[in-house]
Amino acid sequence: MAIWRMSLYVVIPLTVAILGHWSLLLHGVLLKAEWLDDACTIIYTENTILGATFIYAMCFDLIVLGLTGWGLIYQLGRRTSSPVASLIFKDGLIYLIIAFFADLVAVIFMAIQMHSSFE
C-alpha cells in the first residue's frame, strides 16, 4: 500500500478482499475431529470451502502481485527511484510468485483427490 501512497482506490478494495479472505478462513476451520490411537484425527472437513479458500488466496496473491509490479515499475521508471523500491521489486515479487504457485499446487492436489472420490 505504501507503493501506492495509501491511495483509497487501492486501500479500500484490498481491505474488502482481506476481510473476505478472513471470512473464508474462519468459516473453513469448522471441522470434526476425534481422538484415535493417541492422536487427534480430522474425520470431516468441508472440502468446497477449503478449495474456495485456496482459490481465493491465489486470486488475492495474483492481484497483489499485479498491483505491486505495476506500482514498482511506475516508480522505477522515475529517475529518483529508491533502493527500497528495487529491493521490493526483486524480493517481494519473487515471494508473491512463490506463494501463488504454492497455492496452485495445493488446489491441484485437492482437485485430484476430490475427483477420485467421486468415482
Q: Given a cut of 90, is residue 18 above it in pLDDT? A: yes
Q: Which of 4-8, 28-32, 38-42, 61-65 has the least mean pLDDT?
A: 28-32
Please state, as a whole number, how many other Cβ atoms lie within 10 Å of the Cβ of residue 69: 16
Q: What is the pLDDT of residue 118?
A: 44
3-state secondary structure of 38: coil
Go through the chain and tell me how many residues it has: 119
Q: What is the pLDDT of residue 77?
A: 65
Task: Give per-residue pLDDT as tens, 86-115.
Answer: 777 777 788 888 888 988 888 888 878 754
Q: What is the pLDDT of residue 15?
A: 93
pLDDT band at 16 (very low <50, low <70, confident <90, very high): very high
51, 8 Cβ separation under 8 angstroms: no
* pTM (two decimals): 0.71
**Angle at CA of residue 117, ends 115 and 41, nearest 5°:** 120
Residue 82's alpha-carbon distances to 43, 60, 76, in angstroms, are: 52, 26, 8
